[in-house]
Structure 1
C-alpha cells in the first residue's frame, strides 16, 4: 500500500513536516522531566513543588517542630500524589509552606504510650517514663491527702501500658494527664424531683453548687419552681484510676460526760441549779483506717487509752409545786391545776403571767368582778378575754377554746367566762393568766387569794 502525500506537500523536503513534530515532542518531554509537580494530599491540592524530595523535607520540618513536645518522630498519614505540572501561574511552595499545608490536611501522629485501665485506653502519655511517673503521682496524691502512717496502698484496677501511634491532640501533658486520671470525665445521673424538693436542697444533698446544678439543667423553666416528677441531671465525677489507702491513725477523741439530776423538795419545780459542772473526758485511739480515693470507708479500732476521765454534771431540780385552788379572797384562781410555767424570766424571754395546766374544755372563771373590755382573737394569745376590775387592775385569760362573754358585759367573781384550750402560740391545753396594774405586768401569785 502506498501512502498518499497531501497535495500541498508534494515536492517538499520531508524535513519540512517532521521538524515541527519533533519540536513539539521535545517540549513535552522537557516539561515532563523538568521536576515541577502539583502535590495533593487526600485529594486536596496543596500547591506546586519543584521536586518530589520536598515532601520528605516538609515531613522532617514537622518532626523538628513537635519532637520537643512529644519526644519522637512525627508520623504523617495521608495519601500524597504528584501530578505533572500542566498549567501556568502555579504557586510553588517552600518547605515551611508545604509543612504547614500538610499539617492541616494530613493526620499527624506520634508514638505514645496508652494507659489502659480495665481494658480501655483512657489516656495517652508521650513515653513510658512519663506514663509511669503519672501513675506514681496519682498514687502519691491519694496517699498524701489523708493523715497517718501508711500501711498499704493499692489499686483495684487492671493497668497496662502499651505503645501506640496516636493523633497528636490525644497526647496529654503531665499535669493535664494527672488531673484527668483523678477527676475523670463528667457523667450525669438522673434525679426525679419529689414532693417538697428544692433546687437548693438537691444541690446541698448531692454536694454540688446551686450554680452548677442550674447550669447542668437549662431545660428548667424556673429555678424557683419545681414539680414532683421533674427530671434533674446531676453531674458526677468518677476517677478513671482508683486507689485504696490503708493507714494507721492515732487521734484524740472527747468522752461525753453524763448528767444526773438530784431532787430538792425545798425548791420550786421550775427552779434548778448546777451543783457540779460537767467536763468532757479525753481518750486516745489507735485505728486502722481505709480510704477509697481519699474518702474514709472503714475504720478498725486497734486500741484506746484514757487520758482524762469525764466529770459527771450534777443538777439540782426542785419538786415543790404550787397548786391553784379557788379561795374566798379578793382574787380567785381562775382554774384548778398545777402551775406549768411561772411568772418572770424564761430563757431569753420574759413570761408576763403564769401558765396553769388543765384538761381541754375545763371551765375558766372570772378572778374577780368587773367589766369585759376585750373578748376575741388576739395573735399569740389566741382566744382571749380582758376583764377590767377598776383601780387600774385588769386580768388576762388566754389560749381559750371557747369565749362565753362579750365586750361590755359585767361579770361576777367566779362566773364562767370561757373554756380551757390551746389556741394561739400554745403547745397544749392550759390557761395563760396575767394581772396588770396600769398596764404593767405583775406576778399573779401576789394577787391570788388576797
Structure 2
C-alpha cells in the first residue's frame, strides 16, 4: 500500500472519530426522560431516577405511618428511556399515579355526614382529625377568634362507616377538609366569648313647661354613655344566632335628653297653634248663630276627595258615622282640647291611633246633614265649642 493511500485512510478514521465524539458530547448534554413503571404499571415520566425513587419511598412511608403497620412494601421500579420526547410529569401527577399503583387493600373509615360521603381515611382517629381541622378552618373562614371559642358542634348525623378499599382510594386529610369547608350544606355551630364596648343611648325625659303654650317644644340634648359587655355568642356558619349577656360594666354614664313641652293653654290668649285642616281656605259659614241655631264650627269650601289633615298632634278619639255630621273624626289633644272634622267622604284613621299635625286623616265630602261638599271643622275646650278661626295659623 502506497503512502498516499495510507494517509487517506488515516484521515477518514480521524473524521469518523471526531464525528462520533461530537454525537456523544451532544447526547451527553441532552437530558434523558424516562418512563417510570411500578409493578409493571406506567406512573409517569421523569428525568431523575433518584428523585423518583425518593418520592416513591416517601409515599410508602406516609401510608405505613398512617396505617401504623408496615403493610405497603416497595414494589419493583423500572425505568425505560422515553423515545417519544414526552415532557416530564409533575410531582403531583406522579404521586397520584404511584398511589394508584399500590393495590393493597386496607380496612378504612368513610366519613359520612347526613348520608353524604365526604372521603375515606384509614382509621377513626384520622376521621376525628378531619372534623377538628374542618372546624378550625370553618372558624377561620368567618373570622371568629379561635382563642375565645367555648364550644363547637357540627350539626347533623355524623357516622364513620367501615369500608375495605385499595390504598389508592384513601383520601388526603387536607383534601377532605377543603371539600367540607366549601360545602354550604354542613352547618357548624360555634359558641365564643366576646367582650365589646357598647354605646349607651341617652334616655328622653318629658317635662311640662307652663311658660310655653302647648305645641311648643324645646330640647336639651343628652350625652351618650358607654359600657363593657361580656357575652357568650353562638354563630352558625358565621351568622350570629344567639347572644347571652354574662356581665356588663358601665364605663361612662349617659346624660338624659330632656324635652320640655309647653303646657300653657292658648285658649283665651288667642295664640295660633292649629294648621289649616284642608287646602281650601275659603270659609263659607262662620262660627256662631246660623238659621236660628248655633253653628259650633266653621265650614271650609272644598271638592269631594280633597285631603283632610290633622290640625294638631293628638289621638283619634272617634272615627265613624255620627248623626248630622255624617262621616266624622274627633281628635283629642292636650289640656282638654279637641278638634272635630265632619261631612267626610272617607275616613283614613282608626280610634286610638296616634296622629301628627299635617297627617291625612280623611277626605272632603258631603255626608250627613250637608248642602254640598265642604269640611265642617270645630275646636272644643273641655267640651265647649270655641271659634277656631282665631287659633288657625294663617
Q: Same fold (TM over 0.5)?
A: no
Q: Taking structure 1 as the reference length, what is the TM-score of the superposition?
A: 0.39
Q: Taking structure 2 as the reference length, what is the TM-score of the superposition?
A: 0.43
